[in-house]
C-alpha cells in the first residue's frame, strides 16, 4: 500500500540544517537544564490558573525524534530569551516549512486561522514534547493509532466548524468497517485515515485536488484496489464521471464512505438482498435521474418482481443480484460489445448459474421481458387475470352477501314477528350510538389516512378526490360531532331519570370480577353454571368506561393539536408533541378494541352472527334477554300474568313508547 506521510529522518535532518544552526548536544543539554530549573518546579508557577501545563520533565523527551537530533528548547520556542512571556511562540516551520504550508491550506489550517478553538494544530496530532516517529508503534500518528487520533474529534457528536457546520461522526462508522476492523486486527494492508484523506494536505470533498473528490475517489481506492479501479474507469459510470456527469456514482456511492462492509454482511449496501432497491435503485429507480438521462424505466421493479428478486430477499448470496449480471465495477450498457449483457456475452453471463444456457434461454429474461408494463404479452395476461379476479371474486362476494342478507333479515323478522321483544335501548339512545359510530369511523379513517399516506386504501381515497385539505376538514368536523355527542350523552345520563338508571347499571361492582371468573370457567368447561348477568355484563361495563376515558383523552389532545399556538399561552410547549403521541396511540388502541372486542360481541359471536339488530332497533327478543341477561330479565322484564313486561325499575312497553316519543 502506498503511504502518505512526512519526509524520512534524513530529509528532516537536511531541513533542520538548512533552516537553523543546530546547537551541539552539550549546548542543548545546558540550555535544557537552565529551562528545567524553572519548568520542573510547580512552585515557580504559583498563582497561574493551571501550573501543571508549564511543568516539563526529562522523561517527556524520551524517545522523542527531537531529542535524537539534539534540538534545544529554543529551537521550537522562538521567544526563548529570559525573562519571556508566559506563552512563548512555538513554530515548526524552521524544520517543517513544507508541511506547515500544506497544513495552512487544509480545512484544519483554515479553521485554525479563523480562530476556531476546535481546529487542531501541530501538537494536537503529534504531541508537544514526546514527539515520536510515525513508525513508532506508540506514536499517535502511527497508521494503527491514527483512527483513534482522528476519532478524538471526528468521533464526537455535533462537531462544529467555526461556521457552525456539523461534521459527521465518521469514527464510529470506520471502526465498524472492514478497514477499521482490519486496523484493529493488525492487518498491514488495511486502510487507515491518511491513506484516503492524506496527512497535512488533506482537502474537503468539494476541492478538485482532494483525494475524496468524486472525480478522484476511484484513484484513491485504486491505491489498494487497482483492479477495481481499472474496471470502474472503463465502466459507463467511470466514463460518465470523466465526462463531467457528477450524478454518476463512484466507489463511496455504492460501498459507503466510512462504513464499508463485506458483501456477505446483511447490513451492507452491496449485499445481494439490498443491491437493487437500496444501492442501484438510488439512481435506476429515481424518476428524476431516469428522466434526465433517458435511462430505462422500471428495471428495479421488474427485477424485484422476478424470481431473482423474490429469492434475493431471503439472503445476500442465494440468487443472482445486479452485479451477477452487470458485474460489480465494469458496468457497461448492452450496446457495448464488452458488456456482460451484450448480445455476444449474455449467454456466458447466464451460464454462470444456469449451465447449458442458450441464446434462446438468455433472451427469455431481461428487464423488458420480465416487466408487465413493457412486455405486451405480460400486459395482456395481466388484463385477463385482473378481469377474471374482479368477475370471479366479485361474484363470490355478491353471492355471499345475498346469503348473509337473508340471515340478517330473517333474524330481524324473528324479532319483529312471532317472538316477543323488549326495549333494550330507547330511540334517543340508539341515535346517540349512531352519531358516535359515524363520527368515530370518520375520525379513524381520516386520522390513519394522515399517518399512513402510502397505504393502498389512502391512494384509493385520493383518486376519489380526498385531498389533504378535505381530509383535514372531515377529521375536524367529525371531531366536533364526537365532542357534541359526548356532551349530550353526559347531559342525558346526569339529568334524566332514564339516564340515571343506565348510568347506575353501568357502574362496576365487586360482583363483576366473580362474574368474569365464573364466565371463563363456564366457557372452558370447568363449570356447568352459566352466569346470570344483570342489565350490563362486565365486558359491556369495561367497554363503556374505556370509551368515556378514550373520548375525553382524544377530545383534549385533538383540541390541543388543533389550536397549538393558543395552548402554549398557558401550557408548556412540550404538551403539543406529547398530545400528538397520545392522540395517535389512543386511536390505535380504540380501533383495535372496536375490531377485536366490540365487533366480536355484536357481529362475530356465534350467537349473534351475522349481526345483532339491537343497535339499530333498540329491541331484543325476550328469549335473548333471558339468555344473556337473565338476572335483569327476571328482576325487571319477566312477564306479568297479563303478558306485559314488569315495571319494577325496568322499561315497560308503555315506558318504551313514551321514551321513544320524547326522543
The per-residue pLDDT for range 456-503, each reduced to its tens digit, is 899 999 999 999 999 999 999 999 999 999 999 999 999 999 999 999
Of 550, 542, 631, 541, which Cα lies nearest the Cα of 588?
A: 550
User: What integer is the mean pLDDT of 375-404?
Assistant: 91
Across all residues in the chain, what is the average pLDDT? 84
pLDDT at residue 520 tops 50: yes
Mean per-residue pLDDT for 428-442? 95
The pLDDT of residue 57 is above 90: no
CA distances from 612 to 1, 79, 400, 586 (A): 79, 98, 18, 27
Most confident residue range from 20-29, 80-89, 369-378: 369-378
Q: Using omega within 30 degrees of 0 as the cis cutoff, is the peptide bond preceding 83 cis? A: yes
Structure-derived torsion over alpha carbons of residues 597, 603, 608, 609, reported in degrees to the nearest 10: -130
Q: Is the pLDDT of residue 275 over 80?
A: yes
Q: What is the pLDDT of residue 155?
A: 84
Beta-strand pair 421-423/166-167: unpaired
Query: How many C-beta neighbours within 10 Å does residue 661 have?
Result: 9
Q: What is the pLDDT of residues 120-146, one digit of tens each?
A: 888 888 888 888 888 888 888 888 888
pLDDT tops 70 at residue 81? no
- Average pLDDT, stretch 89-106? 84
Pairwise pLDDT comparison (397 vs 168), residue with the higher score: 397
Which pLDDT value is given to residue 56? 82
Residue-wise pLDDT for 151-205, tens only, equals 888 888 777 777 778 888 888 999 999 999 999 888 888 999 999 999 898 998 8
Specify the pLDDT at position 10.
Answer: 41
Residue 164, classified by CB atoms within 10 Å of its CB into exposed (0-12), middle (13-18) or buried (19+), is exposed
* Contact (CB, 8 A) for 109 and 101: no
Q: How far apart are CA 311 and CA 280, in angstroms?
A: 17
Domain 419-662 has CATH 3.40.50.2300: no
pLDDT, residue 23, reads 55
User: Residue 649's pLDDT is what?
Assistant: 38
Confidence of residue 79 (pLDDT cuts 50, 70, 90): low
The residues near 158 (Cβ < 8 Å, ≥ 6 apart) are 166
Q: What is the pLDDT of residue 110?
A: 87
Percent pLDDT > 70 in the chain is 89
In this predicted structure, what is the pLDDT of residue 44? 76
Statement: residue 20 has pLDDT above 60: no
How many of the other CB atoms lie within 10 Å of CB of 111? 17
pLDDT value of position 370: 79
- Mean pLDDT for the stretch of residues 623-635: 84
**Does 30 or 314 have the greater pLDDT score?**
314
- pLDDT confidence bin for 415, thresholds 50/70/90: low
**Residue 14 pLDDT > 50, yes or no?**
no
Q: Considering only CA atoms, which of 536, 538, 502 is closest in space to residue 518?
A: 538
* Greater pLDDT, 137 or 11: 137
Count the neighbouring beta carbons within 10 Å of the beta carbon of residue 580.
14
pLDDT at 6: 41
Over 70: is that where the pLDDT of 234 sits?
yes
Q: Say what the pLDDT of residue 239 is.
A: 94
The answer, yes or no, to whether residue 396 has pLDDT greater than 80, is yes
What band does 78 get if pLDDT is binned at 50, 70 and 90? low
Q: How many C-beta neighbours within 10 Å does residue 264 have?
A: 12
Residue 76 binned pLDDT confidence (cut-offs 50, 70, 90)? confident
Say what the pLDDT of residue 546 is: 93
pLDDT at position 89: 64
Question: What pLDDT sits at residue 8?
Answer: 44
The band of 41, judged by pLDDT with boundaries at 50, 70 and 90, is confident
Quick one: how far is CA 358 from the chain centroid? 44
Domain with CATH 1.20.950.20 in the chain: 419-662
Residue 2 has pLDDT above 70, yes or no: no
Q: What pLDDT score was predicted for residue 40?
A: 77
Question: Which pLDDT score, from 0 to 100, does residue 177 have?
Answer: 93
Region 343-355: what's the mean pLDDT?
92
Q: Record the pTM.
A: 0.68
pLDDT band at residue 648 using 50, 70 and 90 as cut-offs: very low
- Please, which residues have CB within 8 angstroms of residue 130's CB and are 6 or more apart in sequence? 60, 61, 62, 63, 64
Percentage, residues of the chain above pLDDT 90 = 44
Q: Which of 149-163, 429-443, 502-516 is predicted with the least confidence, judged by mean pLDDT?
A: 149-163
Amino acid at each position: 500500500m502506498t503511504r502518505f506521510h512526512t519526509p524520512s529522518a534524513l530529509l528532516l535532518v537536511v531541513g533542520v540544517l538548512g533552516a537553523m544552526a543546530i546547537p551541539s548536544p552539550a549546548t542543548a543539554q545546558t540550555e535544557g537544564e537552565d529551562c528545567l530549573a524553572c519548568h520542573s518546579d510547580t512552585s515557580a508557577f504559583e498563582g497561574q490558573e493551571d501550573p501543571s501545563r508549564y511543568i516539563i520533565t526529562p522523561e517527556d523527551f524520551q524517545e522523542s525524534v527531537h531529542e535524537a537530533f539534539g534540538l534545544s528548547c529554543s529551537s521550537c520556542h522562538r521567544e526563548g530569551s529570559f525573562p519571556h512571556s508566559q506563552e512563548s511562540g512555538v513554530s515548526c516551520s524552521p524544520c517543517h516549512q513544507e508541511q506547515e504550508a500544506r497544513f495552512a491550506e487544509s480545512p484544519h489550517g483554515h479553521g485554525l486561522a479563523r480562530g476556531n478553538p476546535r481546529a487542531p494544530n501541530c501538537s494536537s496530532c503529534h504531541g508537544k514534547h514526546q514527539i515520536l516517529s510515525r513508525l513508532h508503534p506508540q506514536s499517535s500518528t502511527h497508521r494503527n493509532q491514527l483512527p483513534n487520533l482522528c476519532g478524538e474529534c471526528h468521533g464526537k457528536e455535533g462537531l462544529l466548524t467555526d461556521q457552525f457546520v456539523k461534521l459527521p461522526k465518521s469514527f464510529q462508522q470506520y471502526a465498524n468497517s472492514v478497514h477499521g476492523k482490519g486496523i484493529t486486527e493488525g492487518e498491514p494492508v488495511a486502510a487507515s485515515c491518511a491513506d484516503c484523506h492524506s496527512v497535512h494536505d488533506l482537502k474537503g470533498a468539494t476541492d478538485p485536488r482532494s483525494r475524496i473528490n468524486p472525480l478522484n475517489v476511484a484513484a484513491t481506492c485504486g491505491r489498494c484496489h487497482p483492479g477495481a479501479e481499472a474496471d470502474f474507469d472503463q465502466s459507463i459510470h467511470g466514463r460518465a464521471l470523466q465526462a463531467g456527469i457528477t450524478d454518476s456514482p463512484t466507489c463511496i456511492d455504492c460501498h459507503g464512505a466510512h462504513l464499508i462492509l463485506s458483501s456477505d454482511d446483511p447490513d451492507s449496501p452491496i449485499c445481494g438482498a439490498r443491491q437493487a432497491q437500496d444501492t442501484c435503485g438510488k439512481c435506476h429507480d429515481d424518476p428524476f435521474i431516469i428522466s434526465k438521462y433517458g435511462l430505462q424505466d422500471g428495471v428495479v421493479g421488474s427485477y424485484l418482481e422476478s424470481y431473482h428478486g423474490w429469492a434475493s430477499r431471503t439472503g445476500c448470496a442465494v440468487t443472482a443480484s445486479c452485479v451477477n449480471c452487470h458485474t460489480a465495477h465494469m458496468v457497461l450498457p448492452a450496446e457495448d460489445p464488452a458488456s456482460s449483457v451484450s448480445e455476444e456475452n449474455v449467454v456466458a453471463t447466464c451460464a454462470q448459474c444456469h449451465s447449458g444456457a442458450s441464446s434462446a434461454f438468455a433472451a427469455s429474461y431481461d428487464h423488458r421481458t420480465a416487466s408487465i408494463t413493457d412486455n405486451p404479452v405480460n400486459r395482456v395476461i395481466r388484463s385477463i387475470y385482473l378481469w377474471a379476479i374482479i368477475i370471479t371474486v366479485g361474484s363470490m362476494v355478491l353471492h355471499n352477501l345475498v346469503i348473509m342478507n337473508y340471515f340478517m333479515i330473517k333474524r330481524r323478522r324473528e324479532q319483529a314477528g312471532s317472538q316477543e321483544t323488549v326495549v333494550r335501548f330507547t330511540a334517543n339512545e340508539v341515535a346517540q350510538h349512531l352519531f358516535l359510530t359515524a363520527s368515530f369511523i370518520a375520525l379513524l379513517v381520516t386520522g390513519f389516512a394522515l399517518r399512513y399516506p402510502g397505504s393502498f386504501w389512502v391512494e384509493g381515497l385520493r383518486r376519489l378526490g380526498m385531498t389533504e385539505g378535505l381530509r383535514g376538514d372531515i377529521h375536524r368536523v367529525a371531531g366536533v360531532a364526537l365532542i357534541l355527542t359526548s356532551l349530550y350523552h353526559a347531559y342525558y345520563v346526569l339529568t334524566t331519570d332514564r339516564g340515571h338508571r343506565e348510568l347506575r347499571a353501568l357502574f362496576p361492582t365487586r360482583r363483576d370480577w366473580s362474574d368474569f371468573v365464573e364466565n371463563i370457567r363456564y366457557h372452558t368447561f370447568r363449570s356447568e353454571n352459566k352466569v346470570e348477568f344483570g342489565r350490563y355484563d362486565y365486558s359491556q361495563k369495561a367497554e363503556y368506561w374505556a370509551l368515556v376515558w378514550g373520548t375525553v383523552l382524544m377530545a383534549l389532545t385533538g383540541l390541543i393539536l388543533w389550536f397549538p399556538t393558543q395552548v402554549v399561552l398557558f401550557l408548556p410547549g412540550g404538551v403539543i408533541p406529547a398530545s400528538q403521541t397520545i392522540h395517535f396511540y389512543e386511536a390505535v388502541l380504540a380501533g383495535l378494541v372496536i375490531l377485536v372486542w366490540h365487533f366480536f360481541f355484536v357481529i362475530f359471536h356465534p350467537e349473534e352472527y351475522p349481526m345483532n339488530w339491537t343497535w339499530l332497533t333498540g329491541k331484543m327478543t325476550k328469549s335473548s334477554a333471558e339468555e344473556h341477561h337473565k338476572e335483569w330479565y327476571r328482576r325487571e322484564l319477566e312477564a306479568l300474568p297479563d303478558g306485559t313486561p314488569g315495571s319494577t325499575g325496568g322499561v315497560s312497553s308503555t315506558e318504551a313508547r313514551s321514551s321513544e316519543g320524547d326522543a
